Amino acid sequence: MKKQVVLYKKLSPTLMARLQAQAEVTLIDTLDSEGLARLRAALPRAHGLLGASLKLDAGLLDLAPDLQAIASVSVGVDNYDIDYLTERRILLSNTPDVLTETTADTGFALILATARRVVELANVVRAGEWTRNVGPAQFGTDVHGKTLGIIGMGRIGEALAQRGHFGFGMPVIYHSQTPKPAVEQRFDAQYRSLPHLLQEADFVCLTLPLTAATEGLIGAREFALMGPETIFINISRGKVVDEAAMIEALRDGQIRAAGLDVFEREPLNPDSPLLRLNNVVATPHIGSATHETREAMARCAVDNLLAALGGERPKNLVNVQAWKA
Ligand code: DGY
């Protein structure tokens, strides 16, 4: 008998056909209140779940007694209680690698947009207010040759370092749990303690996952260590940063600008003070959002789910202990 899969993210026709060849699929295509009610109704039959952008906590998963695997269409796994899943021997997989380069591109887009004030000045043109040549009040700051500071030197951090070092001639400094000699060699990068990185970098870029240890890592004390020329970039998770402290730092000129793809709450409240600050470029969590990459992520998730439901170890298994058990 085919396994039951609940899909809470739409797939391309090709991937849908592949999944349907192996499983009975229930598609929940919106996560509004009606969609969530349908999801709750489908969970009691589910052997597998595939989707993203939904907090799957014990309250929901207790409704799924036969659940064997969750394939998240994301690299981040902060929407899951990994201890709970492991205890229930539910295999959790994610989609690393395929989104690395695209997410680093997003990081660089934010670096360039904030430094050169691309959005703010494009809006001046769009508003028909470009009446004379720009002067110092509209000038930006250079990117090439400036110091790129990366916090969290994982795959995405490395891809950012590659762009900065080879593309823009930027000295790279980084902070991570442990020094990475191979990265240091490839990009001529240097390890720094967190306070030293914050004091030294022209661009402070967050690329680390949200965990209990990183939640609120960057707050008022950390912003105070940055300088008035520092540009802060976040392509990791909003909750790694104390958003209120960041707003203060941006308002008070403690830092120059911020390029933000992630927020404490998403979607960002339209009333957020961030949206009234000219020195903020805010994007709607588009790190991996290209046609090619989202399809590659979905393909990877389908592979992981089918492997798990077929009794094989998924390539991108997150909770290895659940497999060992
Ligand atoms: C990821 O893959 O984790 C992206 O941030 C999308 O959630």
Residue 202 tokens, joined:
């022209």
Looking at residue 122, its amino acid is: A
Looking at residue 91, its amino acid is: L
Mutational pocket test of ligand 1: of 288, 290, 300, the residue with most ligand atoms within 8 Å of the beta carbon: 288
Number of Cβ within 10 Å of residue 244's Cβ equals: 12
Structure letter (DSSP) for residue 80: B
Q: What percent of the chain is predicted at pLDDT more than 90?
A: 99
Q: Which runs of E-coded beta strand occur in 76-214?
A: 91-93, 148-151, 172-175, 190-191, 203-206
Residue 140 tokens, joined:
């930006």
Which protein residue has the closest C-alpha to ligand 1 atom 7? 74
- Calculate mean pLDDT across residues 264-279: 97
Using alpha carbons only, how large is the chain's radius of gyration in Å?
21
Q: What is the pLDDT of residue 87?
A: 97
Which protein residue has the closest C-alpha to ligand 1 atom 2? 74
- Calculate mean pLDDT across residues 190-219: 98
219 lines ligand 1 (CB under 6 A): no
Q: What percent of the chain is predicted at pLDDT more than 70?
A: 100
Domains parsed from the chain with CATH numbers: 3-96+291-324 (3.40.50.720), 100-282 (3.40.50.720)
Q: What is the pLDDT of residue 324?
A: 81
- Calculate mean pLDDT across residues 304-320: 98
- Calculate mean pLDDT across residues 34-45: 97
Q: What are the catalytic residues?
A: 237, 266, 285
Round the average pLDDT of the chain to a whole number and report it: 97
Q: What is the pLDDT of residue 325?
A: 72
Tokens 């989609």 belong to residue: 95
Cα 152 to middle of ligand 1, angstroms: 15
Strand order in the sheet with 69-72: 23-27, 3-7, 48-51, 69-72, 91-93
Please check the confidence at residue 110 and state whether its pLDDT lies above 90: yes
Q: What is the pLDDT of residue 247?
A: 98
Helices (H) and strands (E) in the chain, counts: 14, 12
Given the CA of residue 53, which atom of ligand 1 is nearest to it?
7
Quote the CA–CA distance of 285 and 295 in Å, as a whole number.
17
Quote the CA–CA distance of 121 and 139 in Å, as a whole number.
10
Mutational pocket test of ligand 1: of 99, 106, 290, the residue with most ligand atoms within 8 Å of the beta carbon: 99
- Calculate mean pLDDT across residues 111-135: 98
The string of pLDDT tens digits covering residues 56-105 is 999 999 999 999 999 999 999 999 999 999 999 999 999 999 999 999 99
The string of pLDDT tens digits covering residues 127-157 is 999 999 999 999 999 999 999 999 999 999 9
Q: How far is CA 316 from the centre of its chain?
A: 17
Given the CA of residue 237, which atom of ligand 1 is nearest to it?
5
Residues pairing with 257 in the sheet: 231
8 A C-beta contact, residue 287 and residue 160 = no
- Who's near 311: CB < 8 A, 6+ residues apart? none
